Structure 1
Amino acid sequence: MGALMLSSKARGTVSAIDGFRTQGCMKALFPRRRDGVEAIVINTSGGLTGGDRLSLHGTAGAGSRLVLTTQAAERAYRSASGWARVETRLEAATGARFDWLPQELILFEGARLQRMLRADLAADARMLLVEPVIFGRHAMGEVLRDVGFRDRIEIWRGGAPLYFDALRMEGDLQAQMTRAAVGGGAGAMACIVYVGPEAEGLLRPLRALLPETGGASLVRPDVLVARVLACDGYALRQTLLPALDRLCEDRTGEGLPISWRL
C-alpha cells in the first residue's frame, strides 16, 4: 500500500513545492530543475502484485510547472490472488503545466493490474503525458501467456472530456500482440499526449522522430496524440528519448528528467 500527494505553486518566476505527503511504500526525490518542480516517484516495495494499492495525486498550481517521473521501470509481477490497482489523479490550474513522465511499466507472466489515470486541466493549462508499456523482458526470453492488464486514461479540460483512452488485455498477450490489427508482433508500446497551443507546431517535428511503427496526429488544434510500437523496450526507448526531449524542452533548455538517462 502506498500514497503520494504533491502540489506546486508559482513563486515569482519559478515554481516551488506547495504541499507534500507520502504514505507506505511511496517516496519521492527532488532533483534541481530551473523551470519547475521535478519529483522522482519511488515505489520502495519493488513492484506490484495482487492486492497492492497505490495512489498518486499531483497538482500544478496556478502559473507553476510540475514534472513527475519515476526512478526506474515499474514492474507488475505474478499475482497469486486478486489484482493490483494504481490510481493517479493529476490537476493543472490556470497557466500551469504538468509533465507526467513515468518510465516503462513491465508486465510479467501472471500479472494482474488495473490502472486509472485522470487529469483535470484548466482552460489554458498545458500537459505532456506518456505511458510506455513493455510486454515481458525480450532479452530474457519471457513470453506472456496469462496476463490481465486494464488501463484507462481520462483527460478533462474545464470540466469537459478532452481525451479518453481505455485498454483491456487479458489472457495470451503474446498471441494478441502478434495480430496485425493489434500489435504486429511488437513487444512494447507507448502513448504520448501533448495538450497546449504549441501542439500544431510540434506535429511535424514529432513525426520526423517516429519510426514506421509510430504515428502522430492532431485530435484537436491544441491536442497532439502519438502512438508507438517497438520490438522491445530498448527500441521503444530509442524512440521516446528524442521525442520526449523535444516535447519537454522549455525556455531553459531542459528536457527529460535525468532519471530517464541513468
Structure 2
Amino acid sequence: MFPKTHRPDAEVILLNTAGGITGGDTFSLNIEVQTGAALNITTQAAERAYRAQIDEIGRVTTDISVHDGASLNWLPQELILFDGCALRRRLRIDLKPQARLLMVEPVVFGRAAMPEFLRDVRFQDRIRITREGSPLYIDGIDLHGDATAHLARPAIAGGAGAVASVVMVSPAAAAHLKPVRALLPETAGASMLAEDVLVIRQLARDSFELRRTLIPILNHLTQNTLPTSWRL
C-alpha cells in the first residue's frame, strides 16, 4: 500500500495477505532507493512465524540498495515467533557513501499475554549492512530447540521476551547518542560503531513493554514522523 502523506518522502506499507509465515513459504523483496529519494517502509501489523511441518522452513530474503543522497527508514513492526516455527531470514542493505539509513528490527519470542512458551523453534536471522560492500553492521541470531530456556540465561537475555535492534547511518548520528541514551530503559544500550553509525540494542519483558519504550526512541530518530501503522 502507498498511503498519502503530507511529507515529501514516500511511504510504503508491506502486506502479507497470508496472515503469517510457515514452513515452505518463500518471500523475497528487492528495493532500490534511487539518488535523492526518501522512502519509509513499514508493515501493516506484526508479522507472525507459525508452526511448521517437520523438515520445512520458511524463508524471507530482503535485498536493499540506497543510492547517494537518498534516505531509507526501514521500520517493520514486530516479528512474533510461535512455538514450532521454522524461519530463516536474511536482510541485506548496501549503502552508497552519501546514503542515509534508519533501521529497526523487533522480534517477540511468544505472546506473553496468552501465555506462550517457545519449547521447539528453529529461527535463524541475519542482518548485513554495508557501504559499497564494506561491512558497517553485521548481526545474527540462531535459536534452535527450547528458546524460552535459552533466553532465560542471564548472559543471553535474562528472561526477556522481546528484543529490538536499531541502526542509524547518518552524518547526524552522533548528535543523537546522548538524547537516545536518556530515553533508554535499563535493559538497553546505545553506542557508536563509527562516527556516523549509531546502534541500539533493547531487551524487554514482552512486546507491550518493548513497544512502550521503543516508540519514543523511533519518534526521536524520525523527528515524529513514525508511520501511522505503528501507533494503531
What TM-score comes out, normalization by structure 2 length?
Answer: 0.97
User: Which residue is equivalent to 2:167?
Assistant: 193
Percent identity of the aligned residues? 53
Contact preservation (8 Å) 1:47, 1:74: yes
Q: Which has the higher strand share?
A: 1
User: Which residue is equivalent to 1:4?
Assistant: none
SS at match of 1:139: coil
Matches within 5 A, 1:88-99: 88-99=62-73
SS at match of 1:244: helix
Unaligned runs of 5+ in 2: none
Matches within 5 A, 1:1-262: 28-81=1-54, 82-249=56-223, 254-262=224-232
1:170 and 1:93 mapped to 2: Cα distance?
37
SS at match of 2:122: strand
Cα distance, 1:31 vs structure 2: 3.3
Unaligned runs of 5+ in 1: 1-27
2:74 and 2:4 mapped to 1: Cα distance?
16
Worse-matched range after superposition: 162-171 or 96-105: 162-171
- 2:68 corresponds to which letter in structure 1? T
- 1:34 corresponds to which letter in structure 2? R
Compare relative contact order (CA 8 Å, sep 6+) and give the higher one, 1 or 2: 2
Runs of at least 4 residues of structure 1 off by over 3 A? none
- 1:53 corresponds to which letter in structure 2? T
1:164 and 1:185 mapped to 2: Cα distance?
24
SS at match of 1:202: helix
Contact preservation (8 Å) 1:39, 1:67: yes
Change (3 A) 1:257 1:145: same
What TM-score comes out, normalization by structure 1 length?
Answer: 0.86
1:239 and 1:33 mapped to 2: Cα distance?
26
SS at match of 2:15: strand
SS at match of 2:177: helix
Alignment: residue pair count: 231
Cα distance, 1:29 vs structure 2: 3.5
Contact preservation (8 Å) 1:195, 1:222: yes
CA-to-aligned-CA distance 1:21-45 (integer Å, 9 cap, x gap): xxxxxxx343324131100000000
